[in-house]
Structure 1
Amino acid sequence: MTPQKVILDCDPGHDDAMALLLAAGDPRIELVAITTCAGNQTLEKVTRNALAVCAAAGIDDVPVAAGAAGPLVRTQMVAPDIHGESGLDGPVLPAPTRSIDPRHAAQLIIDTVMAHEPGEIVLVPTGPLTNIALAMRQEPRIVERVKRVVLMGGAYTRGNRTPAAEFNIAADPEAAYAVFDGAWPVTMVGLDLTHQATATQDVVERIRQIGSPLSDFVVEVLRFFTSSYKEHQGFDAPPVHDPCCIALIADPEVVTTEDAFVTVELTGTWTSGMTVTDFGNAYGRDHNTQVATVLDRDRFWDMTIEAIRTLSTARQGGAAS
């Protein structure tokens, strides 16, 4: 089976770090580029975090480019209550071992998509969708060349930034609107799905038992994430949102989806950033999005833990040689 080529556009972030590890450690995924966008923290911080995760996991051969420092038109928002002042509080972050690609993230996305055959690249945005919207605007041809967009964002029943809006969509609603409105296949992996991906203590213990520096790093990531989610959102175990996108691509059986029409509310006084989701035909619009609804949680954690084990083994083998 040929691995699926993926561009991961992220804002690390604890769950973004988990998505990076799953994308790098699952053999069904080929991570071809990493791009960063201001979201959970400032662009400088999330880019530094992405490089730190790469250093921890031995991700040495994938270009990393920094992108948008803020949303298209709105005031920037960050999430220090969940991710801390660094954006990845908890573990000791290793020093980056590599430099940033000089291109803007949007340009790296464009260059990568255009260098591959149509239908080869899947875009996986796990933060605000600013870089994706900028790339669409700069080079509209990528829309017809990208195989699909699998994004972490939105919800069909709830929000977490506001009662109506999930953080990634609320952070840049105009960019999100452009992505959902684009003529490419979109899959929305929203809160209704990701809240099923809880990192319970038995999961943390399974990761701890791998017994490697990387697994220790992940345990510390989840320790802080557990504490912040308990304090600020009342979860006994934190949901790791972002790796659900990678899991769906690697193994479609992990996630159940349902077709719907999805758009983003831009003008509502109390509902800006809401992902309005019509599973029926209330608006008379063609369904434009696959909406993730049910997670096979055991299968998800099995593949995530195996990816951490694989990366740990590779790191230990490299150190031995």
Structure 2
Amino acid sequence: MSNGPQPVPVIVDCDTGVDDALALLFAVRHPALDLRAVTCVAGNTDVDGVVRNTLTVLERAGAGDVPVARGAARPLIEAPRSARHVHGHDGMGDLGLPAPRRTPVDVDAVTLLRREILASPRPVTLVPTAPLTNIALLLRTHPEVTRNIERIVFMGGAAGAGNATPVAEFNVWHDPEAAAITLTAGVPITMYGLDVFNRVVVPGDDVRRLRASAEPGARLAGDLLAHRPAHPGSRPDDPAEDSGGLGDTGALCAVADPEGLTTHRLPVEVSLAPGPARGQTIVDRRPRIGESELHEGTREQPLVDVGLDVDVERYVKLYLTTVERFTP
């Protein structure tokens, strides 16, 4: 007799990062997710800092022996460009967290990804919350893994405005070639981009409650949320402005509860040319082809399930109940 649906096998590829850390806490603690491995890539901070931060968060989350591997130290072509101005010098809000007791596994990220994907008894959902360098290297080196990948749900891109540039989101801008490779790999893809990323905000009362928790993981979630306020220009002593954005975590929420995310299947192309549009995810939302296609012919573009609307209250409640119900 069945006891209900089995947890979804998940692998997170991250550049931990304040909101990547929030996402890892959720991935460990949600009963519908089976976190099989975590791989690390340069992005928010350097890759060694990402490994350290990831191991520390997993310890705080009560993750047990989830394997963690070090991946690419730089994008495929570009030089690495961190986001320490957002995530702090250590990438984790400079919270002064202790060094982890664990160490990463003795294989690289691509090797661990291949091993865990092919060994999984059920197709794996990959959730990259970082530049897609590791994923592109995996798909180019070991294309056989696609047979056991259910879907890639990545945090990245934007149908509207960017943040790294006026039109490009940081993760895709950091390694546009890797994003282009990933989108054209023939795997079903969901894009959890800036159009929904910035909207899921935890109210200040909930942030303060988390920060006062005696449970280490919940308290860490509160401290991380306090570091990335929803209104960055607000005064730190204004209690009405203590809310914090969940950011990357929404991609994991979309795996655990896909009904909370409204997607549209649309052609998406990554701009690779030098200049101000490099790294833009060009999302074609037109109801019909235009003059360019009529005169020059159509080009085949990958279809991506693009997140365009999100049930904010639903995902905030999902996150809070998941993180707070954990019993060590």
Which TM-score applies when normalising by structure 1?
0.91
**Distance change (3 Å), C-alpha of 1:287 and 1:135:** closer
Q: Hey, what does 2:163 align to over in structure 1?
A: 160
Q: Hey, what does 1:264 align to over in structure 2?
A: 270
Unaligned runs of 5+ in 1: 316-321
1:38 is aligned to 2:53: no
The one of 62, 66, 73 equivalent to 1:69 is 73
Letter in 2 for 1:6: V
CA-CA distance at 1:230 after TM superposition = 3.6
CA contact (8 A) 2:271 2:280 kept: yes
The one of 303, 306, 309 equivalent to 2:321 is 306
Letter in 2 for 1:247: C
Q: Hey, what does 2:238 align to over in structure 1?
A: none
Output aligned runs, 1:125-164, within 5 Å.
Answer: 125-164=128-167
Q: Write out per-residue CA displacement over residues 33-90 of structure 1, whole angstroms, 9 at most, x where no aligned residue.
A: 0010000000011110001101111112210101000000111110011001100024
1:95 is aligned to 2:99: yes
1:248 is aligned to 2:254: yes
Q: Hey, what does 1:319 align to over in structure 2?
A: none
Letter in 1 for 2:201: T
The worse-fitting range, judged by mean Cα deviation, of 135-144 and 284-293 is: 284-293
Task: Specify the SS of the correspondent of 1:70.
Answer: coil
RMSD: 1.8
Which protein has the larger Cα radius of gyration, Structure 1 or Structure 2?
A: 2
1:52 is aligned to 2:52: no
CA-CA distance at 1:228 after TM superposition = 9.2
CA distance in 2, matches of 1:176, 1:227: 27
Q: Hey, what does 1:173 align to over in structure 2?
A: 176
CA-CA distance at 1:99 after TM superposition = 1.5
Q: Write out per-residue CA displacement over residues 78-135 of structure 1, whole angstroms, 9 at most, x where no aligned residue.
A: 0011001100024331331211111111111111111125x61001000000000011
Q: Hey, what does 2:204 align to over in structure 1?
A: 201
Q: Hey, what does 2:114 align to over in structure 1?
A: 110
Task: Specify the SS of the correspondent of 2:143.
Answer: coil
CA-CA distance at 1:296 after TM superposition = 1.0
The worse-fitting range, judged by mean Cα deviation, of 62-71 and 219-228 is: 219-228
CA distance in 2, matches of 1:13, 1:109: 20
CA contact (8 A) 1:133 1:178 kept: yes
Task: Specify the SS of the correspondent of 2:179.
Answer: helix
Task: Specify the SS of the correspondent of 1:89.
Answer: coil
CA-CA distance at 1:210 after TM superposition = 4.5
CA contact (8 A) 2:130 2:156 kept: yes
CA distance in 1, matches of 2:186, 2:147: 7
CA contact (8 A) 1:81 1:228 kept: no
Which TM-score applies when normalising by structure 2?
0.89
**Distance change (3 Å), C-alpha of 1:84 and 1:208:** closer
CA-CA distance at 1:172 after TM superposition = 0.4
Unaligned runs of 5+ in 2: 235-240
CA contact (8 A) 2:263 2:306 kept: yes
CA-CA distance at 1:307 after TM superposition = 1.7
Q: Hey, what does 1:221 align to over in structure 2?
A: 224
Task: Specify the SS of the correspondent of 1:148.
Answer: strand
**Distance change (3 Å), C-alpha of 1:165 and 1:265:** same
Percent of aligned pairs with the same amino acid: 36
CA distance in 2, matches of 1:288, 1:206: 41
